[in-house]
Amino acid sequence: MAPIIPIPVPQDSLLARAAVPPGTYSDAFSTTVPGAVALADLITAFYTTPLFRAERAILRLAGHRSSRAQLDALLAGSGTRFAVWDVVLRRPDEILLRDASGATASWFQVVPVVQGTALRFGSVVYPVNGRYGPRPPRVMALLLGPHTLYSRTLLSAAARRIKRQNHPR
């Protein structure tokens, strides 16, 4: 399995467009799997991993329900919401989703590479207005380590699922 590596935010990506305001935090991670992978396959694998199903359960307790039908509509382009996220922008190879509070965004992208497909996942945390202008939320400093670990773990789980589906033993 290829490692999950941090990458610079791709300049021509939807993630780069979302991370423009001063004080915005953004990150991006990538891994490579063999074969061609569609964006819908990455999103499906990501949102249906056991780890993310646990997050969906927590969101459900907070009143943000999601279903497989809602996910399928999002993937087909006919739906614009999944759980707490709304589609902001989409292209055939990437999608940007913003949470209902407007505080964060998630980004997915698939990129064909010589070895197969690069699977990319990134996040944006929007600044809050402070006394001296926009700044990252204070809690971000405390949560950066766990957030990074969680992002890498989710992408790794999605990549393993895709690899198993595309190359069963």
The neighbour count for residue 34, using CB atoms within 10 Å, is: 13
State yes or no: pLDDT of 169 exceeds 70.
no
Taking only the tens place, the pLDDT of each residue in 111-154 is: 999 999 999 999 998 877 655 555 566 666 667 788 899 999 99
Write down how long the chain is: 169
Sequence-ordered list of residues with C-beta below 8 angstroms from that of 151, at least 6 positions apart, any chain: 27, 29, 121, 122, 123
pLDDT value at position 32? 97
**Percentage of the chain lying above the pLDDT 70 cut:** 89
- Number of domains into which the chain is organized: 1
Contact 7, 120 (CB under 8 A): yes
Q: What digits encode the pLDDT tens for the residues 43-73?
A: 999 988 888 777 777 777 777 777 788 888 8
Instruction: Give the model's confidence band at 157: pLDDT under 50 very low, under 70 low, under 90 confident, else very high.
Output: very high
pLDDT at residue 130, as a whole number: 57
Specify whether the CB–CB gap between 159 and 51 falls below 8 A.
no
Q: What is the pLDDT of residue 167?
A: 67
Q: What is the pLDDT of residue 104?
A: 87
Residue 67: give its domain's CATH number. Answer: 3.30.530
Question: What is the CA 89 to chain-centroid distance, rounded?
Answer: 13
Query: Quick one: which of 87, 116, 94, 3 has its CA closest to 42?
Result: 94
User: How is 10-67 classified by DSSP, letter by letter?
Assistant: PTTSHHHHHT-STT-EEEEEEEEESS---HHHHHHHHHTSHHHHHHHHHHHHTT----
State the first-to-last Cα distance of the chain, in angstroms, to the nearest integer.
Answer: 14
Q: Rounded to two decimals, what is the model's pTM?
A: 0.89
Full domain range(s) for residue 90: 5-166
How far is Cα 28 from Cα 140, in angstroms, rounded to an integer? 16
153: DSSP letter: H
